[in-house]
Amino acid sequence: MSPQLIWTAFSTIFRREVRRFTRIWPQTLVPPVITMSLYFVIFGSLIGSRIGEMGGYSYMEFVVPGLIMMAVITNSYGNVVSSFYSAKFQRSVEELLVSPTPNWVVMAGYVLGGVARGLIVGFIVTLIALVFTSLSIQHIGLTVLIVFLTSVLFSLAGFINAIFANSFDDISIIPTFVLTPLTYLGGVFYSIELLSPFWQGLSKLNPVLYMVNAFRYGVLGVSDINVGWAFAGVLVFIALLSAWALHLMSHGKRLRH
């Protein structure tokens, strides 16, 4: 396919993905907004006022970047895993498989669809956060870049989960038993400086910690970890997951006979 045809195919997939999650906005855009608003009220405002400072900032200021990142991660992942698995379940994925669209374009279309939802939800959550606290972003470029790359990474993970999934149970297992613990223990609600050296060391094996802290560094200018490592780690994981997803697609894993 020529670059023009590839662009048309990619934009068609992307547009369809955006159309899907905006069509069902009460399921896709409203719930994370309500959940995050409750986090802001309970953890940030009610309990946070009794906690005092965290990392040199009020607890509300500290927790806001983590909650925005949590919303971006879960929505990016959730969008791709549910959309691609639904396409498999309804067999509408065959529309793409029988067409000349290359595998990498299919992957890119779905992943960028997930990124679009992740960023839209992240933006709405940011607006809600402004009701509770003021945000003066320290490093705007770095903030945008890390949130974008994190969204790409978790959209890719959702895509791979959907390829392997054989049932709707399979698309909820990873978010429930892997993604949620990693996110909650990834420095969203606390600084790892509060932990003993053993648990600090263990926490540093959690990739979400690096992304949350890189984002927090972009917003507040403070981080528990080296931000350079965070970017390098995210880029390496994106490369590895992209290669894995394309390998699965080219071998037709659970897509072709």
Partner 1 sequence: MTAALSIRDLQKTYDNGFQALKGISFEVQPGDFFALLGPNGAGKSTTIGILCSLVRKTGGSVSIFGIDIDKDFPKAKQQLGVVPQEFNFSQFEKVFDIVCTQGGFYGMPRKLAEERTEKYLRKLGLWDKRSTQARMLSGGMKRRLMIARALIHEPRLLILDEPTAGVDIELRRSMWEFLQEINAQGTTIILTTHYLEEAESLCRNIAIIDKGDIVENTSIKSLIKTLSREVFILDTREALRDAPDFGDFEGRLLDEHSLEITVEKGQSLSDLFALLTPQGISVTSMRNRANRLEELFVSLLAENKQQKSDDAGEGQEAQS
Interface residue with partner 1 among 22, 27, 49, 99 (CB under 8 A) is 99
Interface residue with partner 1 among 86, 138, 200, 206 (CB under 8 A) is 86
Position 87 contacts partner 1 (CB under 8 A)? yes
- Find the part of the chain contacting partner 1 (CB under 8 A) among 16-24, 151-159, 196-204, 239-247: 16-24
Position 95 contacts partner 1 (CB under 8 A)? yes
Write the secondary structure of the chain as one string of H (helix), E (strand) and C (coil).
CCHHHHHHHHHHHHHHHHHHHHHCHHHHCHHHHHHHHHHHHHHHHHHHHHHCEECCEEHHHHHHHHHHHHHHHHHHHHHHHHHHHHHHHCCCHHHHHCCCCCHHHHHHHHHHHHHHHHHHHHHHHHHHHHHHCCCCCCCHHHHHHHHHHHHHHHHHHHHHHHHHCCCCCHHHHHHHHHHHHHHHCCCCCCCHHHCCHHHHHHHCCCHHHHHHHHHHHHHHCCCCCCHHHHHHHHHHHHHHHHHHHHHHHHCCCCCCC
Position 19 contacts partner 1 (CB under 8 A)? yes
Position 101 contacts partner 1 (CB under 8 A)? yes
Q: Give 19 or 247: the residue with its C-beta nearer to partner 1.
A: 19
Position 52 contacts partner 1 (CB under 8 A)? no
Position 166 contacts partner 1 (CB under 8 A)? no
Residues that bind partner 1 (CB under 8 A): 1-2, 4-6, 8-9, 11-13, 15-16, 19, 23, 86-87, 90-92, 94-102, 252, 256-257
